[in-house]
Structure 1
Amino acid sequence: MIHPTFFGNLEVYLLVALILLSFGLYGLISRPGLISMLISVELILNGAGLNFMAFNTFIAPDKTEGATFTLFVMGLAAAEAAITLSIAVAIYRRFRLITADNLSGMKD
């Protein structure tokens, strides 16, 4: 059983945020597909949002800047996901490909 104060440590949240960031960077580097790159960027942004919330909770618990900034990052991530998915659908409809490696040759 997990100790009740296990999630009361800043280090636990920072470790989870680092894991999210690491998985996101690995996926961004190793996967050529646009959808997998989008998921990797979302993991990176979620790790950053978790950092903001953790530091806000443990360092300045009375202030709302961390929560406000995290909501702003989540809104930007949602807009980025919608725009990226619409671009990916348009590219797939026109060129019938979805990997980022082949996108550099489409200059016409």
Structure 2
Amino acid sequence: MHLAYPAVLAALLFCTGLYGVLARRNAILVLMSVELMLNAVNLNLVAFDVWLRDTLHAGQALTLFTIAIAAAEIGIGLAIVLMVYRNRGTSDVDRLRDTVEGNEPPAGPGTATAPDQSSVRSEVTA
């Protein structure tokens, strides 16, 4: 078996995944692109394992670990995306850069804060 065929296919898969990570805005599509990149790594591991005729089959063993890591990554990633979507109403990666709720700047020393609602009500009734 020629090593060039799976290596070129793995390079194409990895480049497609890299493009998806860099260009996509939806968090689900970013996770799918990361999975493409991991599958390209798996293909390279198995191809080099067959090409080197390793008696321990270390490439295939590492592929099993990579598959387990990918499954855990998808499970945790989807849970995070679902919670962010429930809290913020969007899964757009560009809109999720701020960790502050809303658009108001954080209050620091020397900045005025809004008055408490109970004190405003007592002033209106007086």
Q: TM-score, normalised by structure 1?
A: 0.89
**Could you say what the CA RMSD is over the residues aligned between the two structures, in angstroms?**
1.0
Cα offsets for 1:17-48 (capped at 9, x unmatched):
00110100011111011001001100000000
Give 1:9 deviation, angstroms: 1.4
Which has the larger share of helix?
A: 1
Instruction: Tell me the secondary structure at the aligned position of residue 28 of structure 2.
Output: helix
Instruction: Say whether the 8 Å CA contact 1:56–1:63 is kept in structure 2.
Output: no
Q: What residue in structure 2 maps to residue 87 of structure 1?
A: 80
Moved beyond 4 Å, runs of 4+: none
What stretches of structure 2 of length at least 5 have no aligned partner?
A: 102-126
Task: Pick 1 or 2: higher relative contact order, CA cutoff 8 A, min separation 6.
Answer: 1
Alignment coverage as a number of residue pairs: 101
Percentage of identical aligned residues: 35
Q: TM-score, normalised by structure 2?
A: 0.77
Is 1:51 matched with 2:47?
no
Cα offsets for 1:44-84 (capped at 9, x unmatched):
00000111110001013422111110000010000000000
Q: What residue in structure 1 maps to residue 10 of structure 2?
A: 17
